[in-house]
Each structure stands twice: as C-alpha cells, then as structure tokens.
Chain A
Amino acid sequence: MNSITGNTAELQELQKLIANGDEGAFRKLFDLYFCNLSQFVFSFVKIRDVSTEIVDGIFIRLWHNRSSIDQIDNLRVYLYKAAKNAALNHISRHARKNILEPFDDITIQLKDESSPEGLLITKEILQKIRETVDLLPPRCKMIFKLIREDGLKYKEVAEILNISVKTVDAQMVIAVSRVRELMSGHLNLPSLRSRKKMENL
C-alpha cells in the first residue's frame, strides 16, 4: 500500500541513493518525514520549537552517518524510534527523572482535514468526527494517528511504541467503536429520506 510517508520500495531506493551522498534523495526523505516526525515528537515534548529542533538533530545525524544508512532495516521505523527516544531523552533530561510510561502524559494534535474529494460529508460531520477522535484516550489516539496520518502499518507502530501487534489491532477497534458510538447521536443515521437524498445527488 502506498502511504503518505512513502512506500517501502521507494524508501529502500532513497536509502541507497543517500548512502552514495545524493543530496536530492536526502531532501526527499526529509520532505516525507519532517512534518510527521515533528508532530510525533510534539506529542511528547509539547513545545513546537523543541520538537522541530529534535527532528533537526535526527536528520543531522542521519546525513552525517549517511554511508551506513543502507544498513538500516526499516528506515521508517528507525526514524520514528529515533524520534521517540530523542523526545523521551529530552524530557527526562529536563525533568531530571526517568519517564517510564510516556503515554500517560502526551498531547496528540490531529491534523486538520483537507476537503474530502467529492465525498458526501458536510463540514459539520467532519468537525464532529474530529471532536470524537480528539476524545480518545491518549495511547489509543496516538496509535490511531500514526496509522491514519502517518500511514504506518500495525507491525511498524508496534515496533515503534514497543507494544504487540495485537494491542495495536485492539486499540484501533476501540477507536472505531468509540467514534461509532459517539457519532450515533450526531449522524442522521439513516432515515430512509436522507439516504434517498444522497443517492439523488
């Protein structure tokens, strides 16, 4: 599947080029991940400037050590893991304590939506769905965000967050069920009339 953060074959190709010092390829990688990684780091550190600084650091190290970049098995997972570690290191350095369970205290911001392509959703419904997703428990929401917005696979999320694939699967079901539950009051579920109307459109 082609995700926003690049498919695997494309990534491996980039890795090879970067290992040979191709600056354009490095830029491509940077474009693919910089924003998403910054968002991810932001969930932990909660300060915008610090988040981008941390991600800068990850890319600096990556480019500096580019000759060995093609030894990385899954670059996408590597980047997120590096981002998480750097974020947690930053927090514990500044809090002078070890962070054991990072999920208790994360702030996850969902990306704003672009307009849905030709779909029959109104602004109000978009807004409502967003609000319900916003209410998900932090860990659930982070998993949800990584899969939806960052296009990661269950296996990758599991590896990055050090949890099992089963947990990822279970959390996604929780997320969907929650939204379904909260939405039932707000969606005009499906009176015959409204469905008819939609088909006519």
Chain B
Amino acid sequence: MTPERINELYARKLSGEASTGELAELEALLKDHPDEQFFQEMFTGWWQSGKNHPMQQLEDKDRHFDFILKNAGAAMSGDSDAPAPSTPLQKRSLTVYYYIGALAAAVIAGIVFFNIPALIDAAQDGFQRSAGLNEVVTRKGTKSKLLLPDGTKVWLNSDSRLYYADNFSGTQREVRLEGEAFFDVVKDSKRPFIVKTSGIKIRVLGTAFNVKSYPLEPTIEATLVRGLIEVEKNNQPTAPKIKLHPNEKLVFNKADGSGSKTDKTVKDIASLKTATVQALPRISITTLSENVTDSSRMETSWVFGKLLFEGDTFRELAAKMERWFNVRIIFKSNRVANYRFRGVFENENIVEALQALQLTASFHFKIIGNDVYVDRK
C-alpha cells in the first residue's frame, strides 16, 4: 500500500508546486519505499512526455492566424460578444497531435550513455582534445531519441553511435556520427551545426535532415527534409561545397574510383547540380519526390518506427533487418538473396516480418537463437 503522504507530495512535485521542505520529505520517504520510487520514475517519464512540443502542422495554423488578423482589422464595432467572422474558415481538424503519436512509435529500448575522457581517436577528426566526449550508442534492434544541449533533437537508428563534446554549446555545435540519425537542428545562425562522418562533413544552420553512414556500407547518404545544408568532403575543405535543398538526397561513395551509384528512388537528377557533381565525382545528388510524407519516405520512415524498402534485394533488405531486429541473417541460396521486395514493416517481429515476405516469395527460414537461416524451398 502506498502511504497517502507519498502520493500527496509526489503530486505536488510533478506539478512543480512542492516546496523544498516537501521535496526533501518525499525523498526521505522514498528511501523506505523502493516500489514507490520505481512507479514514480515511470510516471514522471510519462508525465514529461506530454510536455515536449512536437512538430506542429503549421499550414493549418497559418491559415487560422491569417484569418484572425484579417477579421480583427475588419468590422469590429465594439461588439463584446463573440465576433461574427465574415466567412467562416474552412477547417481541418487539428492534426498536430497525430504527429506525436507517430513519434511515440520510435520509442527507445536500450541506450548506453558514456562520458569518455577524450582518449578516443576523436581528436583526429578535429574535436577539441581538452573537452570530455559524450557517446550515445544504440544497439542493434533498438533506437533512441535524444536532446542535445542546444535543444536539437536527434533520432538515432539501430546500431549507431553519436559523439559530441562536453563543450558542445560553445562556439560551434559539432557531432560525429557512425550509423544513421535524423537531426532536427535548432536554428542558431551564430553557431553552425556540423555533422562529421567518415567521408563527408555536413554543415547546417537550422534544418531537419537524415544522415546514414554505417561503417560497413559502401555509401554515405544525406537527405534533407527542410532548410539548407552544405556538404564538403573530408579531405578537400577547399573544394566547392555542395548545397542541398529540401527533398534532395546526396549519396557519397566511399570507395575510390567507383562511379556514383544511382539510387532506385531517383526520380530525376537535378541538372543544376551537374557541374558541382563533376568536381567531386564520388558524389551524386538525387531529387526525391515531393509529395510524400516524411513517414512514408524511405530515408526518414525509420524515425516513425517503420522499416521501408523499395525494390531492395533480399540481401540488401537483410542488412536493414539485421539492424532493425538485432538478428543475423544467413543466406544459403544466392537465388533467394537476389529476390527483390518492396514494402514496409511497422510493428512486426522478425518472424512476422519473414512470414510477410513469404507471402510474395517462396523461401524457407529457420531461426536458431539470433541467427536466421534463409534457404530455397
């Protein structure tokens, strides 16, 4: 049974109404009630989750705001009762809250958070040595969302690492990424936000974009959702920087000499970019279709808890699934590995996902521990 006093104090603490004395009293009481402490940790987490302001659907609000300005200026003959607006605004329901629901899907499983003294090779990337380095790691099969000291939101996909220095809030906001992350950067024109990867460096002022840079994959990708970002190659700071506009995706080939791989989602290649692209032959830019929502676009769907694939070979898809579900997928048949799939996983577990794939293709699988063996039927 919960002592009533604990709930009373806790309710005030949550509401920001507890006095210092009450907070101390609560803390003392909780020492003898670990189960209450456990409940409060959970509940506080939930409580705070309602406080974050999500991305808002601005167009609708814009229309309301314009409507208000227009009507406030017009005939308002000192009537104190509700004004009768000239023409009622065509309304759409508030879609704001749906967004949050979608994001809730991207809930966290296991996060490891270290604070490593600057021993690591980070210095070679230009991180200042004097400062401590924070590392956020997601394991395979887990994702995480974090808030950087400047308020920038980062969704970290499975099997990824993000590093940032203790003095992050100083003159420059700099992070290093291995893996995939979606950034929603807080605008600050005085302090550019920089994402470093093994091959390219991305410089932004305030924007939302996705970066994919897994060590074992041949390419690095950056996709811009809104704003403007600048990309430069790591070893060529003097080369012309490439500017990326919304709905454009940049693919950087890590291997030397290999031509730029064209993406399957390519609608057309922005001709304007050709000149810059030639200057940096390992880079290609593609324009993505605009009338797709962020949650159903391949590059950003994972933020919304979806694993999307569009014509991937089974082998390519398996690499994604390995990270997503934390399994190892072993092909015993090359033919099966070359099957192509398109579709989306949302809440499926590994078995359900594989069974869904079996609906369209004939193969056989066996799961032993964390290993999935895929063979022809």
Contact = CB atoms under 8 A, between A and B. Distances in A.
Is the A/B pair a real complex?
A: yes
A169 B108 CA distance: 33
B10 A176 contact: yes
B71 A117 contact: no
Nearest to A154: B17
Interface string A82-114: 000010011000000000000000000011111
Nearest to A39: B94
A160 interface: no
B39 A180 contact: yes
A49 B72 CA distance: 19
Interface string A38-64: 110000000011001110110111111
A118 interface: yes
A169 B22 CA distance: 14
Nearest to B5: A173
Given A115-B106, A115-B107, A201-B111, A154 B15 contact: yes
A146 B131 CA distance: 42
Given A60-B68, A114-B104, A151 B49 contact: no
A129 B44 CA distance: 11
B7 A173 contact: yes
Contacts of B14: 147-148, 172, 176
Given A56-B64, A56-B85, A113 B111 contact: no
Contacts of B81: 89
Contact of B108 (A64, A119, A153, A187): A119
B169 to A, nearest CB: 17
A183 B72 contact: no
A80 interface: no
Contact of B52 (A27, A90, A114, A176): A114
A116 B144 CA distance: 9
B8 A173 contact: yes
A120 B100 CA distance: 18
Interface in A175-192: 175-177, 179-181, 183-184, 187, 189-190
Contact of B2 (A27, A48, A151, A177): A177
Interface stretch (B53-61, B220-228, B294-302, B309-317): B53-61
A116 B76 contact: no
Contact of A113 (B8, B38, B49, B98): B49
Nearest to A23: B69
Nearest to B145: A115
A102 to B, nearest CB: 17
Contacts of B69: 23, 63
A149 B51 contact: yes
Contact of A148 (B35, B47, B71, B76): B47
Interface in B70-98: 71-73, 76, 81-83, 85, 88-89, 91, 93-94, 96-98
Contact of A60 (B83, B104, B146): B83
Interface in B179-230: none
B49 A52 contact: no
A118 B85 contact: no
B147 A52 contact: no
A30 interface: yes
B68 A115 contact: no
Given A48-B94, A180-B7, A201-B110, 18 more contacts: A30-B68, A49-B93, A57-B82, A62-B72, A112-B97, A113-B49, A114-B52, A114-B100, A115-B107, A115-B145, A116-B48, A116-B107, A126-B107, A147-B14, A148-B50, A154-B15, A179-B43, A180-B39
27 contacts: A35-B56, A35-B94, A52-B94, A59-B68, A60-B68, A63-B69, A89-B81, A111-B50, A111-B97, A112-B104, A113-B101, A114-B54, A115-B105, A116-B45, A118-B113, A118-B146, A119-B41, A121-B42, A126-B107, A129-B43, A147-B14, A169-B17, A172-B12, A172-B14, A173-B4, A180-B43, A187-B38
Interface of B: 2, 4, 7-8, 10-12, 14-17, 34-36, 38-39, 41-43, 45-54, 56, 61, 64-65, 67-69, 71-73, 76, 81-83, 85, 88-89, 91, 93-94, 96-98, 100-101, 103-113, 144-147
